[in-house]
Structure 1
């Protein structure tokens, strides 16, 4: 009968644990869990990990992904720069893009973006025209006239139009879509699940940082 020393038993136990962890860690495959864009887009700032979520207020998948994405954003270090870009796949969705930038201009985006999505997905509010949007905004305690002045402003309308052009440049064909460093693209539908897409984002973040933020 062969007897093992305590040191050998400990070593074998560690090997077994490493094997279990490796088996549990999901494998990330570029081309499947994430895609490399054929034409990378320039990043806005240097020495940072740029993360863009292309979303639409009316998208049920965006609403479903929001808790996981918000939790991910909150735990990121200072070198990660996150921003949202609204996508209008049809012209009649443009009011939602204007709403997003109007709230941003008024400093109300962080407080109301999730409430907008809740109103649309849980309270069946479409918010597809100026009156519906203004009525809902007023119900949130924001001055209607001040909001409408911002919503109709040249700056907000220009940003909404620019967002559509940005989405076209990135060739976004679905929402939510995450683009990292203007180059890597992933989403819950691409990765397979919300949890896997978050894992892919962590993987890409580490890769970008190891590459010294180069594209």
Structure 2
């Protein structure tokens, strides 16, 4: 979803397959057409020798909700030389900082894998009103296996607020125009507009991982 108008129709997203063919079967991606080269490299937070792949997303974004199952299927085949992380963006909706803290609280508790898809489903399919701090804390109290007190303490903590601020900074460093979007190696930015579709966005990312490994 764009900061302004988003050009991909949600209905079309559901037609994309969960697996993506290798980009090598098509033409190589082109800078300025399929992806954007950052004018100034963005900070990376990956181990030495790893190529960082960053997903920019928002729980409030219906396009991110449609993309998430495809992304999770793709991540199962992520090259061992790549390191993946998610960045919740500071736009899409009026409770963006709340949603950023929601993500980082789950991450701190080691619960992202358990709740990432469930949150998208709750918001976009079940139409649960998960808006604002009080609603998120009430949601946490209803989740089996989730320590609601620990969640609340982390959710309000300075460390989680700090992570949300750094996410906002990285979103600016990558000049993210809309979500879902991907960044590679602090050098390249890809979204559905540049690549032409969300399926091709993953293909372009695969090719850029290979390019980054060359040095």
Q: Same fold (TM over 0.5)?
A: yes
Closer, same or farther: CA 88–126 of 1 in aligned 2, 3 Å: farther
Structure 1 residue matching 2:95: 3-state secondary structure: helix
| CA distance 1:200–1:98, change in 2 (3 Å) | same
Of 116, 122, 125, the match for 1:119: 122
Among 170, 173, 189, the residue aligned to 2:174: 170
**Does the Cα contact within 8 Å between 2:181 and 2:189 map onto a contact in 1?**
yes
Runs of 4+ in structure 1 off by over 4 angstroms are: none
Structure 1 residues 94-120: Cα deviation after superposition (integer angstroms, max 9, x where no partner): 100000011111111111111111111
Structure-2-length-normalised TM-score: 0.82
Task: Tell me the residue number matched to 1:11.
Answer: none
TM-score, L = length of structure 1: 0.82
1:41 aligns with 2:67: no
Structure 1 position 100 matched with structure 2 position 91: no
Q: Is the 8 A contact 2:42 2:170 kept in 1?
A: no
CA gap 1:43/1:73 in 2 versus in 1, 3 angstroms: same
State how many pairs are aligned. Answer: 190
Q: Distance in 1 between matches of 2:69 and 2:138?
A: 26
Task: Please list, as runs of the form range in 1=range in 2, the aligned pairs for 1:78-157 lying within 5 A after superposition.
Answer: 78-89=80-91, 92-141=95-144, 142-157=146-161
Structure 1 counterpart SS, 2:209: helix
Cα distance change, pair 158–34 in 1 and its aligned pair in 2 (3 A): same
Structure 2: stretches of 5+ with no match in the other structure: 1-22
Whether contact under 8 Å (1:177, 1:187) holds in the other structure is yes
Task: Let me know the Cα RMSD of the aligned residues.
Answer: 2.0
Stretches of structure 1 lacking an aligned partner (at least 5 in a row):
1-21
Q: Which has the larger radius of gyration?
A: 1
Q: Secondary structure at the match of 1:53?
A: strand
Deviation of 1:46 (Å): 2.6
Higher helix proportion: 1
